[in-house]
Amino acid sequence: MVIVIDEAYQEFVRAEHAVDGIEMYRKYPNVVVLRTFSKAHGLAGLRVGYSVSNPDLTQHLRVAATPFAVSQIAERAAVTSLRNFSQVVERVQSLVDERDRVTAGLRELGWVVPDAQGNFVWLDLGENSADFAALAGERALSVRAFGNEGVRVSIGEEEANTRFLELCADYTKPPRRS
Ligand SMILES: *Cc1c(COP(=O)(O)O)cnc(C)c1O
């Protein structure tokens, strides 16, 4: 059995006891860790990332990976981003700060929201998801509703996050503890 640990949001994680994929890979021969440049490095669309696994496993991945080869431009963008890693770290930290401000703001409003470890917050809006997403759209805020499950809100610029909190303050059917 192969265990795949998708660490797309690894750079945004601040939870103290979060699983460390690389540590797991060192410990277990059947672990594959996936990393992407799409989120923290902001290179979504260029389709560049990497996996970390033992050579025994990696040789099989190589066979399947050929059609998904990284383009030259994507590779150069990734290398340039790594050369400017301190800027990446800075950008990720401002996003984390904003994420935590939004989470705290929601809780101040009495909303029940889970701790966020990625670049978005999750609103457990259930059957009100589409309704909430439509209201957000009216205020030029782009959120993503998942059926009757909830709404995922990506953390944006400070100004947009503030307008999002204003929308939530006006909304009358917030997620409550059931
Ligand atoms: C963004 C993302 C990825 C990787 O996306 P690519 O653009 O294909 O590199 C993987 N898993 C999750 C959960 C993601 O959100």
Last residue of a domain, one of 67, 83, 99: 83
Q: What is the pLDDT of residues 147-161, one digit of tens each?
A: 999 999 999 999 999
Q: Is the pLDDT of residue 69 over 90?
A: no
Quote the ligand 1 centre to 177 CA distance (angstroms): 30
Residues spanned by the domain of 116:
86-170
Last residue of a domain, one of 83, 107, 127: 83
Of 17-26, 63-72, 89-98, the poorest mean pLDDT is in 63-72
Quote the ligand 1 centre to 158 CA distance (angstroms): 24
Q: Is the pLDDT of residue 22 over 80?
A: yes
pLDDT of residue 117: 98
Last residue of a domain, one of 83, 117, 152: 83
Secondary structure in 3-state letters for the chain: CCEEEECCCHHHCCCCCCCCHHHHHHHCCCEEEEEECCCCCCCCCCCCEEEECCHHHHHHHHHHHHHHCCCHHHHHHHHHHHHCHHHHHHHHHHHHHHHHHHHHHHHHCCCCCCCCCCCEEEECCHHHHHHHHHHHHHCCCCCEEECCCEEEEECCCHHHHHHHHHHHHHCCCCCCCC
On whether residue 136 sits in a domain, the answer given is yes
